[in-house]
Chain A
Amino acid sequence: MNESINQLRKIARNIPVRKVTLPDKENLNHVFLREGSIGIQKVLDSASEVTEELVEVESTPIPFTPKEPLPEENVVLLDKKPEVNHSLVEDDFAKGERQFTERIKKRNPEEDEVFDPENPKLEIIHEHKQVMRTPMNYYYVLGTVVQDMGSMRITLMVEELATGRRERTKIDLYERDQVVLYAQQIGELFSQDEQQIEADLLLLTDLLEKHREEELEQAKASNQNKRHQSVLTAEKQNACVQFLSGKNLMKGIDELIEQAGVVGEESTRRLLFVIASTYKMNTPLHALVQGTSGSGKSHLINSIGQCFPPEDVISMTRVTSKSFYHYTKDELVDKLLLIQDYDGLDEEAQFAFRELQSAGNISSSTTYKDRYGNLMSAVKTVRSHFASLLATTKAEVYYDNMSRSLISGVDESDEQTRRIITHQNKNLAGLIDHKKEHQAKEFLQNCMRCIRPYQVVNTYADKVYLPFEAKMLRRLNSHYQAFVKQITILHQYQRKKDDQGRLIAEPEDLKIACEIMFDAIMLKVDDLDSSLRQFYDLMKRHIKKLCATAKPNEFQFTQRDVRLALNVSKTQCFRYFEELELLEYIQRTGGYANRGFKYKIVFWDDMEKIREKIKGELNQQLEAVVHGGSIGMEHQDPQLSGE
Chain B
Amino acid sequence: MMIEMQKQKLHAEICERIYQTLYNGIRNVKSEEPRTWLKERGLSCEVTGAGFSSGQITHRKTKEYLKEVESVGFIRANNIVCKNGDTGYLTFARFGVVFPLRDGKGRVVNFYGIRFKLEKEEHSFMNDQGIYPAFPHEMTTQLFITTSIMDAASMIEAKVLDNRDAVICIPDGKILPQHEEAIKRLTQLNSIVWIESPKINATQGLQGRIMPKGYVTKTKKKP
> Which chain A positions have C-beta within 8 A of B184?
11-12
CB–CB B155/A28 < 8 A: yes
Given contacts A8-B183, A28-B151, A37-B158, contact A15 B192 (CB under 8 A): yes
> Which chain A positions have C-beta within 8 A of B47?
191
CB–CB A4/B193 < 8 A: no
Given contacts A4-B173, A26-B198, contact A32 B192 (CB under 8 A): no
CB–CB A28/B154 < 8 A: yes
- One of A5, A27, A37 near B194 (C-beta < 8 A): A5
Q: Tell me whether A329 is interfacial, beta carbon within 8 Å.
A: no
CB–CB B150/A29 < 8 A: yes
**Cβ distance B212 to chain A, nearest Cβ, rounded Å:** 22
Nearest CB to that of A26 among chain B residues? B197
**Cβ distance A4 to chain B, nearest Cβ, rounded Å:** 4
> Which chain B positions have C-beta within 8 A of A12?
183-184, 186, 189, 192
CB–CB B160/A33 < 8 A: no
Q: Which segment, of A40-48, A276-284, A455-463, faces chain B?
A: A40-48
**Cβ distance B66 to chain A, nearest Cβ, rounded Å:** 35
Q: Tell me whether B5 is interfacial, beta carbon within 8 Å.
A: no
CB–CB B158/A36 < 8 A: yes
Residues of B in contact, count (CB < 8 Å) = 36
CB–CB B158/A19 < 8 A: no
> Which chain A positions have C-beta within 8 A of B43?
29
CB–CB B42/A193 < 8 A: yes
Q: Tell me whether B41 is interfacial, beta carbon within 8 Å.
A: yes
Q: Tell me whether A371 is interfacial, beta carbon within 8 Å.
A: no
Interface members, chain B 189-215 (any A CB < 8 Å): 189-198
CB–CB B175/A11 < 8 A: yes
Q: Tell me whether A610 is interfacial, beta carbon within 8 Å.
A: no
CB–CB B189/A15 < 8 A: yes
CB–CB A44/B174 < 8 A: no
Q: How far is the CA of A8 from the CA of B168 in the complex (A)?
A: 13
> Which chain B positions have C-beta within 8 A of A37?
158-160
Interface members, chain A 360-410 (any B CB < 8 Å): none
Which of A5, A32, A36: most chain B Cβ within 10 A?
A32
Nearest CB to that of A9 among chain B residues? B192
Q: How far is the CA of A26 from the CA of B198 in the complex (A)?
A: 7
- One of A18, A19, A24, A29 near B41 (C-beta < 8 A): A29
CB–CB A32/B42 < 8 A: yes
Given contacts A4-B175, A22-B198, A191-B159, contact A16 B192 (CB under 8 A): yes
Q: Tell me whether B32 is interfacial, beta carbon within 8 Å.
A: no
CB–CB A27/B198 < 8 A: yes
Nearest CB to that of A25 among chain B residues? B198
Q: Tell me whether A17 is interfacial, beta carbon within 8 Å.
A: yes
Given contacts A12-B189, A27-B150, A32-B42, contact A21 B196 (CB under 8 A): yes
Q: Tell me whether A550 is interfacial, beta carbon within 8 Å.
A: no
CB–CB A44/B144 < 8 A: yes
Residues of A in contact, count (CB < 8 Å) = 36
Q: How far is the CA of A287 from the CA of B4 in the complex (A)?
A: 112
**Cβ distance A194 to chain B, nearest Cβ, rounded Å:** 10
> Which chain A positions have C-beta within 8 A of B198?
22, 24-27
Q: How far is the CA of A41 from the CA of B159 in the complex (A)?
A: 10
Given contacts A16-B191, A29-B150, A29-B154, contact A8 B196 (CB under 8 A): no
**Cβ distance A619 to chain B, nearest Cβ, rounded Å:** 98
Q: How far is the CA of A16 from the CA of B192 in the complex (A)?
A: 6
> Which chain A positions have C-beta within 8 A of B153?
29
CB–CB A22/B190 < 8 A: no
Q: How far is the CA of A28 from the CA of B61 in the complex (A)?
A: 39
CB–CB B194/A19 < 8 A: yes
Q: How far is the CA of A114 from the CA of B151 in the complex (A)?
A: 32
- One of A5, A8, A18, A29 near B151 (C-beta < 8 A): A29
Q: How far is the CA of A4 from the CA of B175 in the complex (A)?
A: 7
CB–CB A41/B196 < 8 A: no
**Cβ distance A200 to chain B, nearest Cβ, rounded Å:** 16
Nearest CB to that of A31 among chain B residues? B154
> Which chain B positions have C-beta within 8 A of A24?
198
**Cβ distance B39 to chain A, nearest Cβ, rounded Å:** 9
- One of B150, B170, B189, B194 near A20 (C-beta < 8 A): B194
Q: Tell me whether B148 is interfacial, beta carbon within 8 Å.
A: yes
> Which chain A positions have C-beta within 8 A of B155?
28, 40
> Which chain B positions have C-beta within 8 A of A193?
42
Given contacts A8-B145, A44-B144, contact A18 B197 (CB under 8 A): no
Q: Tell me whether B91 is interfacial, beta carbon within 8 Å.
A: no
Which of B151, B174, B192, B193: most chain A Cβ within 10 A?
B192
> Which chain A positions have C-beta within 8 A of B194?
5, 8, 17-20, 47, 50
> Which chain A positions have C-beta within 8 A of B189?
12, 15
Q: Tell me whether A567 is interfacial, beta carbon within 8 Å.
A: no
Q: Tell me whether B53 is interfacial, beta carbon within 8 Å.
A: no
CB–CB A43/B158 < 8 A: no
Q: How far is the CA of A94 from the CA of B186 in the complex (A)?
A: 32
Nearest CB to that of B190 among chain A residues? A15
Q: Tell me whether A248 is interfacial, beta carbon within 8 Å.
A: no
The contact sample of 24 A-B pairs, CB cut-off 8 A, is: A1-B196, A4-B173, A12-B183, A12-B184, A15-B191, A19-B194, A19-B195, A26-B197, A27-B197, A28-B146, A29-B42, A32-B41, A32-B158, A33-B42, A37-B159, A37-B160, A40-B154, A41-B158, A41-B160, A44-B144, A44-B160, A47-B193, A47-B195, A191-B158
Additional A-B contact list (4), CB under 8 Å, known A29-B43, A29-B153: A16-B192, A22-B196, A28-B150, A33-B41
A interface vs B, CB < 8 Å? Answer: 1, 4-5, 7-8, 11-12, 15-22, 24-29, 31-33, 36-37, 40-41, 43-44, 47, 50, 162, 190-191, 193
B interface vs A, CB < 8 Å? Answer: 41-43, 47, 144-148, 150-151, 153-155, 157-160, 170, 173-175, 180, 183-184, 186, 189-198
Return the 3 tightest CB-CB contacts between A and B, nearest first: A28-B151, A27-B197, A4-B173
